[in-house]
Amino acid sequence: MSLKDVIEAADRPDLTLAVINREASQPLQSMLEELFADQPVSIEEHDRVDEAADTVYLLEDDTVIATSPLHELSESILLGNSDLFITGTRSPLEVDLPDVIVALENTRFRVRGYPDSSKEKFLLITISRYIEGISLERGDGTHRASFQRLSRIEDERGTRSVYRRLSETSVATHVYGVPDRVPQFDVTVHGGQSREICDSWFVVSVPDETGTHAALVALETGPRTWEGFWTFDPATVTELDAYIRRAL
């Protein structure tokens, strides 16, 4: 087993996000289409009588599996940017994922970072912060996160704040990366320079007993290009947590 194996096992059939009775501006629709361009998620528009305007359906084989107001997608992802989290302007506890985004779990995404794309990577960043918020709110269990280089924890004010706060809870917090600068607070550091540590991006939250299991895992497959997925499936999250604990 490897992180690459875990990612390649995420092989969910293609999904559709359908915007129903759109009244929102065309630029907002264009942003949604851009966000999911070249992904296994198609974007459609439909007009339907007696259904609420600006509603987004997530469809799998023409079956609605989740719905969200379009404004929730715009507020959480479409109109956001990574600086909100890097600077600490938005706390992980303020991240409220739309149901249609949560339900995209186990879908493998390939995203590009800036300057190739200003939006694609932000989707995974938002999921990462959401998972950090789960661990912070729960206050127990185990939290594991990789940073490629541990200096990023100190260099990004928002990230430093999150992991300092985690260190002050009962969450067993583990951080992974090249140990170019070790955090100056109480977390367990796993320094290394293996390929998986240098290329990986994961955030894993496992409760002690009851609570939400959550994980995002991705690998950098090229310059500023990432491939990965997120999941809330307890079995998958537990298996991933066990692999990281054992191998990294």
Q: What string of H, E and C letters represents the secondary structure of 106-134?
A: CCCEEEECCCCCCCHHHHHHHHHHHHHHH
Strand order across the beta sheet in which 41-46 lies:
41-46, 15-20, 55-60, 63-69
- Nearest by Cα to 29 from 80, 59, 71, 84: 71
The domain 3-12+81-247 having CATH identifier 3.30.870: the answer here is yes
Where are the domains positioned within the chain?
3-12+81-247
Q: Could you report how far apart the first and last alpha carbons of the chain are, in Å?
A: 12
The answer to whether 13 and 58 have CB atoms below 8 angstroms apart is: no
pLDDT per residue, tens digit, the chain (248 aa), is 899 999 999 888 889 999 999 999 999 999 999 999 889 999 999 999 999 999 999 999 889 999 999 999 999 999 888 777 777 767 888 888 999 999 999 999 999 887 777 678 889 999 999 999 999 999 999 999 999 999 999 999 999 999 999 999 999 999 999 999 999 899 999 999 999 999 999 999 999 988 999 999 999 999 989 999 999 999 999 999 999 999 99
Reported pTM: 0.95
Beta-carbon count within 10 A of 238 CB:
14
Q: Which residue is it, tokens 């528009």?
A: 45
The answer to whether 213 and 233 have CB atoms below 8 angstroms apart is: yes
Helix (H, G, I), strand (E, B) or coil at 233: coil
Question: CA-CA distance, 131 to 67, in Å (whole number)?
Answer: 21
In this structure, which amino acid lies at residue 151?
S
